[in-house]
Amino acid sequence: MLGPGVPWYLAISAMLFSIGVAGVLLRRSPLVVLLSLEIMLNSANLAFVGFSRLFGELDGQVFALSVMAVAAAEVCVGLGLIVAMARRNLVLDVDRFTELRG
Amino acid sequence: MVAWIVWLVAAAACLGTGVRVVTATNPFSSALSLIGNLASLAVLYLLASGEFVAAAQVLVYAGAVMVMFLFVIAYLGGHADAPWAGGTRVIQTASVITAAALLGVTLVALMLDAGGRLSDEADVSRAFGSPAEIGRLFLTDHLLAFEVTSIVLLVAAVGGVVLGMRSEEEVSVDARLKPVTHAPSQADAEEASA
């Protein structure tokens, strides 16, 4: 295999996932929360591709492509929600949206 | 050797742009950093023999999805928001500790197994990860997933349209705010001809 082995890919994947978690928990703007979600999805994709290479099976890459399609759908709905919020003149701050809190 | 250098540069770029996405105050910088992040991830996919995934990553993700993001940020005006603004200090500390703990647990799990099963990779042919191989899998073993994906995308598109529709209230407000257009009257037409 060219370059470092699979554990290095998994380490990078873990670091990216933690960065994404920190972004989702820390940031208040729903746009940046969505961007951090994308980082988390991509770190999962990196782990999928790494494991796919480890086992020599292409199923992991097929799953990574499916994750990409789901991420596109998620962005479509998420951005639609954000634009709908902005059009109702709501403040774009995830801490203010407490109506559904139990 | 060259592959190691490329890998190190791509991994460093990946982590650096990832941190920048989370810490940038301007959403525009966050989105642009995410494009860099996705591009450097594509390089990592290439090194792990995921050629088609890397191409799809650049085309679909860094291209289409991020352009949509940038359009929405431009539409909303992308006002700056400090990464640490909002939330109490306890919440902020807890968030950082949660992320760090997650990272620690995963890295320890990785290190415990390093040198074991994780390091002996299977031998793969040159066609591994090529579009032809992936396409064959999508149309044979994973045909159901392929078809379900198309339905998921269709539902998301319909959802986007429904969310983007104007409510009747908004339409009536718009109608009231619309500037009165000056229809050309008979007198104007006569004046013009004379």
Residue (of A39, A92, A73) closest to B23 by Cα position: A39
Determine whether the interchain pair A61/B30 forms a contact, defined as Cβ–Cβ distance below 8 Å: no
Question: Does the pLDDT at position A81 exceed 70?
Answer: yes
Q: Does A67 touch chain B (CB under 8 A)?
A: no
Q: Which residue has the tokens 């109702």?
A: A88
* Predicted local distance difference test score (pLDDT) of residue A16: 95
Residues of A in contact with B53 (CB under 8 A): 45, 49, 61, 64-65
Q: Does B84 touch chain A (CB under 8 A)?
A: yes
User: What CA dihedral angle connects A19, A56, A65 and B137, to 10 degrees?
Assistant: -170
Query: Is the ipTM above a cut-off of 0.90?
Result: yes
How far apart, in whole angstroms, are the C-alpha atoms of residue B88 and residue B156?
Answer: 35
> What is the block-wise mean pLDDT of chain B (194 residues), using blocks of 10 residues?
92 95 90 95 93 93 91 81 69 88 89 74 83 92 93 94 77 57 58 61
Q: What is the C-alpha R_g of chain A?
A: 17
* Predicted local distance difference test score (pLDDT) of residue B167: 67
User: How many CB atoms neighbour CB A9 within 10 A?
Assistant: 25
Query: Looking at per-residue confidence, does A13 or B193 come out higher?
Result: A13
User: What CA dihedral angle connects A27, A28, A30 and A36, to 10 degrees?
Assistant: 10
CA triple B144-A63-A32, angle to 5 deg: 120
Q: Does A96 touch chain B (CB under 8 A)?
A: no
- pTM reported for the whole predicted model: 0.85
Q: What angle do helix axes B66-76 and A59-87 make, rounded to 10 degrees? A: 10
Helix (H, G, I), strand (E, B) or coil at B51: helix
Q: Which residue of B has its CA nearest to A55?
A: B122
